[in-house]
Amino acid sequence: MELTRERALELHRQMWTDMQKALGNNPSSLEREHYKCQWCQEHFPDESIQDCCFLCEYTRNKSDGGFPCRYCPIKWDCTYCFEGSSIKKSYRNIPISELLALPERKEE
């Protein structure tokens, strides 16, 4: 799926806002993953979206095979992005309101 930066941000916010309305501000990690994939399938049934995430899909298309997260339009504290047993904050467990309030990264 080819996405502009603006479209990736729009779809990211739309999906997470819809999730917040449907599941509340603090759904479980499993609920989030299920909702993301279901939402993508319902809205884009003929597309394969990287990790059911429009930001990941956008960065995948911009990446030169290196570290694609550097192209993410959202300025993540890396502890939000990556999984691991030592990570206390992640997109999987922070309140959705906090996730939606993360600032945009300046375009290079």
**29-33, 68-72, 86-90, 92-96: range with lowest mean pLDDT:** 86-90
Q: What is the pLDDT of residue 92?
A: 84
Q: What is the pLDDT of residue 49?
A: 93
Are 104 and 73 in contact, with CB atoms under 8 Å apart? yes
Are 54 and 15 in contact, with CB atoms under 8 Å apart? yes
In the 3-class helix/strand/coil scheme, how is the chain assigned residue by residue?
CCCCHHHHHHHHHHHHHHHHHHHCCCCCHHHHHHHHHHHHHHHCCCCCCHHHCHHHHHHHHHCCCCCHHHHCCECCCHHHHCCCCCCCCCCCCCCHHHHHCCCECCCC
How many Å separate Cα 63 from the centre of its chain?
16
Domain ranges of the chain: 5-100
pTM of the predicted model as reported, rounded to 2 decimal places: 0.86
**Where does the pLDDT of residue 108 fall: very low under 50, low under 70, confident under 90, or very high at 90 and above?**
low
Q: What is the pLDDT of residue 7?
A: 96
Task: For 75-97, write each residue's pLDDT tens digit.
Answer: 876 555 555 445 566 788 899 99
Mean pLDDT taken over the chain: 87
> Who has greater pLDDT, 69 or 82?
69
